């Protein structure tokens, strides 16, 4: 059996008040069982003033997580806020660890950290879920997914990248037991009958524009040719960009569906990629890997559609009777779109309104999302996403 609760504090300055608020909520909401873990998200200000450390030092369980500019739990949505999603169980075991000093090679340090986390543990129940919290340091999100697909083959991987509310995203940090890191990745492994389910919201198919293409030359996140044209020339030729002076900056705010048709684990479900920049020779750099042969189509990042698709997914949780808790990560790009109508908290509000007090949940904004697009015969199709809301349903 798994039980969950979400707790929070908005107290930035008085450490003892913040600790007391968290402890009081825990006592009211949850009787801790034999094994417990906390997933923590907080605004960077809680790190700078020492509140994060004070809270974590006074918890009876370990914590892993990331910074986030804004979060919501059942009772509140706020910025700045510190929130914790607590899981506790008698028969599910939680093991946390830290992948230190990540470089381009994500697999080797991940494998070492995995082995270190399990050293001396003896017999363990079967691994049922991995949650990772990558740093925002310029390494493609697919690198983390691919690495952990090798470390824990056949296991669903969920996660969110550290984020903040600055233009440069230079205050992003990852968190483990109150200590913070710029270039290391905390992770959580759940052993036993946890039975995770996954949901995600991108944009409606009706917002798919006519503009489509086939990637004819690419390497990693760099796309050189689309429809046998230089990537820049392809985008420049589209009616969608007529009269737009700066295609580069406009394209950064245009989600792009990518159908990874040549993947061995292709499940027929496209993912969304964000454009980063154009190189001097006309290639397009994306925020995630785009394979040669992939089909791409541009979409409109419509604020009404963001809210409608999010509400639809959250409402499904409110009407289900077999849910213990929900953890959600939403892309910063969705928050930026909502800033255009002067209310970046609307998506958090939509989830809070739809769920109410029925299901313990925590939702926060992240710099990239990791979630399976499907699970077929027990085998997950783990993917990195942009412009997406991902949900772990427990």
Residue 366 pLDDT > 90? yes
Q: Helical H runs in 211-302?
A: 231-236, 247-252
**53-64 b/e (C-beta count within 10 Å ≥ 16 → b):** bbbbeebebbbb
Handedness of CA 274, 301, 361, 346 (dihedral sign): positive
By residue count, the chain amounts to 394
> Rounded mean pLDDT of 339-364?
90
Distant-in-sequence, close-in-space partners of 44: CB < 8 Å, separation ≥ 6: 67, 164, 171, 172, 173
Residue 208 pLDDT > 60? no
Separation of alpha carbons 89 and 40, rounded Å: 18
Cis status of the peptide bond prior to 81, with omega within 30 of 0:
no
- 15-29 per-position pLDDT tens digit: 999 999 999 999 999
- 64-80 per-position pLDDT tens digit: 999 999 999 999 988 89
Instruction: Give the model's pLDDT for residue 212.
Output: 81
Separation of alpha carbons 251 and 271, rounded Å: 17
Strands 185-191 and 127-132: antiparallel
* DSSP conformation class of 360: -
pTM attached to this predicted model: 0.95
Separation of alpha carbons 86 and 68, rounded Å: 17
């Amino acid at each position: 059996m798994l039980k969950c609760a979400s707790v929070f504090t908005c107290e930035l300055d008085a450490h003892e008040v913040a600790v007391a608020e968290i402890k009081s909520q825990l006592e009211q909401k949850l009787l801790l069982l034999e094994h417990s873990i906390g997933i923590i998200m907080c605004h960077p200000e809680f790190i700078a003033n020492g509140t994060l450390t004070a809270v974590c030092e006074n918890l009876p369980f370990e914590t892993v997580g990331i910074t986030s500019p804004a979060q919501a739990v059942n009772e509140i949505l706020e910025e700045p806020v510190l929130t914790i999603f607590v899981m506790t169980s008698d028969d599910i075991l939680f093991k946390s660890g830290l992948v230190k000093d990540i470089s381009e090679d994500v697999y080797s340090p991940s494998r070492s950290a995995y082995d270190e986390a399990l050293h001396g543990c003896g017999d363990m129940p079967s691994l049922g879920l991995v949650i990772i919290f990558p740093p925002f340091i310029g390494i493609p999100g697919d690198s983390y997914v691919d690495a952990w697909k090798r470390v824990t083959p056949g296991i669903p991987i969920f996660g969110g990248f550290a984020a903040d509310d600055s233009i440069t995203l230079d205050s992003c940090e990852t968190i483990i037991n109150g200590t913070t890191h710029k270039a290391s990745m905390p992770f959580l492994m759940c052993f036993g009958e946890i039975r995770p389910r996954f949901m995600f919201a991108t944009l409606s198919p009706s917002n798919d524009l006519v503009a489509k293409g086939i990637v004819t030359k690419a390497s990693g996140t760099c796309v050189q040719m689309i429809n046998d044209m230089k990537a820049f020339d392809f985008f420049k030729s589209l009616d969608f960009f007529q009269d737009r002076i700066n295609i580069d900056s406009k394209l950064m705010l245009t989600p792009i569906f990518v159908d990874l048709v040549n993947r061995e684990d292709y499940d027929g479900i496209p993912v969304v990629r964000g454009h980063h920049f154009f190189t001097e020779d006309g290639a397009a750099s994306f925020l995630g890997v785009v394979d040669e042969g992939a089909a791409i189509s541009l979409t409109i990042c419509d604020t009404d559609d963001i809210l409608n698709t999010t509400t639809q997914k959250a409402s499904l949780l409110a009407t289900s009777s077999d849910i213990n808790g929900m953890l959600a990560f939403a892309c910063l790009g969705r928050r930026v779109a909502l800033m255009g109508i002067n209310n970046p908290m609307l998506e958090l509000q939509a989830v809070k309104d739809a769920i109410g007090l029925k299901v313990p949940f925590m939702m926060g904004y992240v710099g990239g999302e990791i979630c399976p697009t499907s699970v077929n015969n027990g085998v997950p199709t783990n993917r990195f996403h942009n412009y997406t809301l991902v949900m772990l349903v427990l």
